[in-house]
Amino acid sequence: MLVFVFTALSLLSPCLATIPRPRGVAISMASFYKPDVPFQCLDGSKQVPFEYVNDDYCDCPDGSDEPGTSACTNGKFHCTNAGYRPINILSSRVNDGICDCCDGSDEWEGNIECVNNCKELGRKMREDREKQMQLQDSGYKVKLQYMEEGKKRRAEKRAEMETLEQSKVELEALKNEVEARKIEVEGPEKEAKEKHEQAWKEVQEAKKAELDKIKAETAFYEMDENKDNRVDLVEIKAHAQFDVDNNGEVCDSEAREHLEIGEEADHVDLEHFMEKVWPNIRDFYKSPAEQEDKGDNQEIEPKEEENRVGENKTGEEEAMPEYDDETKQLIAVADAARKQFTDADNALRDAENAIRDLQNYLNLDYGPNEEFSALKGNCYEYTDREYTYKLCGFEKATQRPKAGGSETTLGNWGKWEGTPEDKYAAQKYENGQSCWNGPNRSVKVNMKCGLENKVTGTSEPSRCEYAFDFETPARCTEPPARASDDTHDEL
C-alpha cells in the first residue's frame, strides 16, 4: 500500500498541492516522487513503477524507493520535526520501536507512542543559540580591546627597539672610548705598583736573609760544642739526624757528606758552614734544646723558633706599607677609568638584553590581529583532586602536587597547533621534563571562546602527553547578524 503525506501548506499553495510526497521524503525532494510517472532511483541505476515506492520492498540499490519503511538498510527517512530541526535517519530505524524523530513520525505504524517534543527542543535550541551568541558578542568586544592593545603594544615595542638599536651604537662607541682611556691609565698605575711591590719584596728578602743568617750562625755555634769556632766530624756525628742510612749511628762518610768536605779535611769554619752546609740542612736541623724538649719526632712551634733566634716577626708576616701619594693618585685615576668602563659595559649589556627580549616578543605569533598578546606574561592555574596545573602564556606549562613537592615542567612554548583551517585553535608546549623511562612531557592547549582567560580542565590522554582546556575572549568571533529562526513548520 502506498503511503502519502500532504502538507498543510497545500491548503495555501495550489502548486504544492499538486506534488504529494511519500512518507519520509523532504519537501525539497518531493519533485522526484511523482505518482503519475515511474520512479527513477536517485542514484540513476533503474526505474520502477511508482507503486513500488514505500511498498516495504527494497527495489533501488540506494534504498531511495523506501524512504518511509525499513525495507532498505541504506535508505534515508526524513524527519520533518516541525518547530525544531529536520533530520534524516536510516530507514532501517523506521518502526523499530524507538522514537528517533522528535515528532515521532518514524514510528508511524503506532507500535510505540512517541511524544512530539519538537517545540520544546526548538525552544531550548534557540535559548542555547542565544546564549552562545551573547557569549560570542561579549567575548568579541573584549577581543577587540585585546586587538587594539596588542597592536599598540607591538608598535610601542618596535619603536623601543629602534631607539635601543640607536642607543646601542652610541653605547658601543662610548665603551670603546672609555676602554681605551682605561688601558692608557692602567699602564703607569701598573708600573708604579710593581715598583713599590718590588721594593717591598727586596726588603722582605733582605729580612729573610738576615733571619736565615742568624739561624745558621746559631746552628753553627750549637754544633760547635768545644767552642773552637769550627764544626768537626766528631761534633756532627753527635747529631743522630744526620744518620742517612738509619743504621743507628752517623759514620764518617755521612758526616763528611753533610759538611761538604773531602777525605783530607775533618772540620769546617763558619763561612764554609753558612755557604755549603746550612742550605742543605736548614729544613731538618734541630737544636739540642729542640730534641730534648720535643723529641726527635716532634717539631718546634714556629713562635718558639722565632723567639729562640731573637726575632718576634718574620718578613712574610708583615703587611706591605701603603703606596706613596704619587702611586695612590695613579691608582685613583685608574679606578675612575675602570668604573667608567664597567658602567659603559653594563649599560651596553642592558641594552643588548633589552633588545633580545624585545626581539623575542616581536618574533612570537599573537594571532592575525595580536589578540592573543593578552596571554603573554600572565599565568593561569587550575586545581583538581591531586595537582595544581599552571599555564603561563607563550612560556611554559607546569604541574605541582597539592600535597606539596617540587614543580614539574610539562612543556615549554613551542608553536600553534590547530587545524590547517584554524591554526589558532590550539597551542603546543613541548620538551618538558622527561618521564621516567619515557618521552619528554608535552601539553596541547585547546582554546575556545570564553569571557575570561582561564584553564577549565586538564587531562592526560596518553602517557606524558597532557591536554588543557582553555577559555579566552581571543577565541571569540564576531557573531553573525540575527537571522530568522531556522526551525520550521514543515509537515
| DSSP symbols for 422-437 | -GGGEEEEEE-SBPTT
Residue 401 lies in a domain: yes
Q: Which helix (H) or strand (E) element contains residue 350?
A: helix 325-363
Q: How far apart are CA 80 and CA 23, in angstroms?
A: 10
- Which phi and psi angles does 62 have, rounded to 5°? -90, 5
Q: Which domain holds residue 98?
A: 4-116
Residue 456 lies in a domain: yes
Residue 399 lies in a domain: yes
Closest to 188 measured CA to CA, from 329, 352, 387, 24: 329
Which residue in this structure is represented by grid cell 701619594?
Answer: 325
Side chain identity at 450, as an amino acid letter? G
Q: Which of 85, 116, 147 is the last residue of a domain?
A: 116
Residue 76 lies in a domain: yes
Residue 348 lies in a domain: no
Q: Which of 70, 101, 116 is the last residue of a domain?
A: 116
Q: What pairing do the DSSP bridges indicate for beta strands 21-22 and 39-40?
A: unpaired
| pLDDT value for 196 | 96
Residue 13 lies in a domain: yes
Tally: H helices and E strands in the chain: 9, 16
Q: Which of 116, 151, 166 is the last residue of a domain?
A: 116
Residue 477's CB is within 10 A of a number of other CB atoms, namely 11
Helix-, strand-, coil-residue percentages of the chain, each rounded to 5: 45, 15, 40
Q: Which helix (H) or strand (E) element contains residue 258?
A: helix 252-259
CB 250 within 8 A of CB 223: no
Can you tell me whether residue 65 is helix, strand or coil? coil
Residue 352 lies in a domain: no
Would you state the cell numbers that stand for residue 143, as one nine-digit string?
A: 577581543
CB 450 within 8 A of CB 471: yes
Number of domains in the chain: 2
| pLDDT value for 236 | 85
Residue 438, domain CATH: 2.70.130.10
List CB contacts of 349: < 8 A, sequence separation 6 or more: none
Q: Which helix (H) or strand (E) element contains residue 5?
A: strand 4-5
CA dihedral angle for residue 102, residue 105, residue 106, residue 112, rounded to 10 degrees: 90
Residue 191 lies in a domain: no
The model's pTM: 0.61
Reading the chain (491 residues) residue by residue, the pLDDT tens digits are 344 443 333 333 444 444 578 999 998 899 999 999 999 999 999 999 999 999 999 999 999 999 999 999 899 999 999 999 999 999 989 999 999 999 999 999 888 999 999 999 999 998 888 888 888 899 999 999 999 999 999 999 999 999 999 999 999 999 999 999 999 999 999 999 999 999 999 999 999 999 999 999 999 998 898 999 998 888 888 888 888 888 888 888 888 888 888 888 888 899 999 999 999 888 888 887 777 665 544 444 444 444 444 454 444 568 999 999 999 999 999 999 999 999 999 999 999 999 999 999 999 999 999 999 999 999 999 999 999 999 999 999 999 999 888 999 999 999 999 999 999 999 999 999 999 888 899 999 999 999 999 999 999 999 999 999 999 999 999 877 655 555 554 44
Task: Give buried/exposed letters for 127-148 (b at 16+ CB in 10 A, else e).
Answer: eeeeeeeebbebbbebbeebbe
Distances (CA, A) of 162 to 155, 167, 168, 362, 475: 11, 9, 10, 13, 32
